[in-house]
A and B are shown apart, each in its own frame.
Chain A
């Protein structure tokens, strides 16, 4: 799915991330941890080609990220669902249209897909909030809407950047449950979080690997959960 070979990235002269060499296998579940500013978000951005490595090589779904043209990047992002930390909604569109946005921009907004959308909105528990504008949603509702948008294109990989950062514990568990269900459907899941309690809570539900970013390097933290 995602292969990094001695990849590095830096915003200035000093690399933020260096010597990234790892493989995220299909159907695997990963937590990405590390202190604030360690580079978790940057790592995820490398995984959906918002950033390109300044050294080394990254293969995304079998394609060298550096070789992708702009249309290629757009097509890749239809196969990689991302839940952004700040959700990234279009505030002038209702929640249901925000969830359907990947379908809309890819020209796949068919009546069949509309039925799937309704099912998906129900699955994330937002049926009654489908017509609300994003600013009217609570933190948990926003995160669930972002998750729904991330999976509406039936992607191979789901990347979530601090999906439980602004929600209470119950909502965190609910979001985790949704991501675990997706993983059971065969999706590769990567969750960036600094919430160790969430990682512990996942232990009973899924076989996950914890990647720890520290000092610009990624290491596997202990044994798999």
Chain B
């Protein structure tokens, strides 16, 4: 018995073979409902994984090639140290551009915490310098040493300290989503195997009689494989459709980086859930085939 033969039989169909093996209502309902539920969950696992991926990429891109230099110095020295830092940066390989934030920009940064009436000029607020890196990047340790010599009040923050855990967390979440997807497929396979074994046990007499009149194992197995594969495909298609609708109805992310509101698919990612019914059908095909052949081998 070849898998290719099974696949061809699956596509061609065999009405007579379908009649020989009677339908078992419980196994049919179980495999349909299980496939639908698992596909629904798989859509969410996929959405979680893809949203995590997008978030990780966004955080990574936004922060990876930028850094900040904070200059804390007495008011009289602040301007001089700022010029010194910018001069150092101009001469540093790997620095694409650097500029000091204006008072208005610094005020805008602080506004969420201190309100719009903050008197920036009257407060000893550090000067911030935004640095953009080239693709190669700069030597962070070397730059720190030069800044310490030229502008003692300057502190370099390359965002690595807090960027790395966030990107790692998003990456892990993405991995978790894919692992969940694999587990869901595994659980679907296990459920279909149990349902197939139940159907095979319920049809033991049919199998025995058909063997007695000359049916090959492949003929008997195909009837079960075809039925369970189509059930898994049907159930998973329904579950996937429902899952996609549910994801579509989730609140939109807008321009924010909020994870919960960003859960979903973007653009061509909406095509990915369509793979789920196919994967469910392949899983059911393999699970039923293995279960059927194992059961048949136990019968003379």
A: residues with CB less than 8 A from B are 48, 50-51, 70-71, 74-75, 77-78, 82, 84, 88-90, 92-93, 97, 101-102, 104-107, 109, 149, 153
Contacts and interface: CB of A to CB of B under 8 A. Distances in A.
**Chain B: interface residue count, which band?**
20 to 34
A101 B213 contact: yes
Contacts, number: 62
B186 to A, nearest CB: 30
Given A77-B212, A78-B213, A109-B16, 20 more contacts: A70-B216, A70-B296, A77-B211, A77-B213, A77-B214, A78-B214, A88-B208, A88-B209, A90-B210, A93-B19, A93-B20, A101-B213, A102-B213, A102-B214, A104-B16, A105-B20, A105-B213, A105-B214, A105-B215, A105-B216
Contact of B212 (A70, A84, A92): A84
A167 to B, nearest CB: 21
Contacts of B206: 90
Contacts of B296: 70
B19 A74 contact: no
B212 A105 contact: no
A70 B292 CA distance: 14
B210 A101 contact: yes
B178 interface: no
Given A88-B212, A93-B20, A97-B19, A105 B217 contact: no
Contacts of A48: 212
A96 B241 CA distance: 43
A74 B16 contact: no
A149 B213 contact: yes
Name the residue in A75, A89, A92, A109 with the highest tally of chain B Cβ atoms < 10 Å from its Cβ.
A92
A77 B300 CA distance: 12
A61 B194 CA distance: 40
B219 interface: yes
B212 A50 contact: yes
B22 interface: yes
A50 B213 CA distance: 11
A74 B205 CA distance: 16
Contacts of A92: 22
Contacts of A78: 213-214
A107 to B, nearest CB: 8
B201 to A, nearest CB: 16
Given A92-B22, A97-B19, A109-B16, A71 B217 contact: yes
Interface of B: 16-17, 19-20, 22, 205-206, 208-219, 296-297, 300
**Interface-central residue, B19, B209, B213, B216, by most chain A CB under 10 Å:** B213
A46 to B, nearest CB: 12
A107 B215 CA distance: 9
Nearest to B215: A105
28 contacts: A70-B216, A70-B297, A71-B216, A71-B217, A74-B217, A75-B214, A75-B216, A77-B211, A78-B213, A78-B214, A82-B212, A88-B209, A90-B20, A90-B209, A90-B210, A101-B20, A101-B209, A101-B213, A104-B20, A105-B210, A105-B213, A105-B216, A105-B219, A106-B214, A106-B215, A107-B219, A109-B16, A153-B214
Contacts of A97: 19
A74 B20 contact: no
A74 B211 CA distance: 7
A120 to B, nearest CB: 15
A39 to B, nearest CB: 17
Given A93-B20, A109-B16, A74 B209 contact: no
A109 to B, nearest CB: 6
A70 B210 contact: no
Nearest to B300: A50
A74 B300 contact: no
A75 B210 CA distance: 12
B219 to A, nearest CB: 5
Contacts of B212: 48, 50, 77, 82, 84, 88
B209 A89 contact: yes
A78 B210 CA distance: 11
5 interchain residue pairs of minimum CB distance: A105-B215, A78-B214, A77-B214, A102-B213, A74-B216
Contacts of B17: 104
Nearest to A152: B213
A74 B22 contact: no
A102 B211 CA distance: 9
A77 B213 CA distance: 6
B236 to A, nearest CB: 29
B219 A51 contact: no
Contacts of A84: 212
Contacts of B214: 74-75, 77-78, 102, 105-106, 153
Nearest to B208: A88
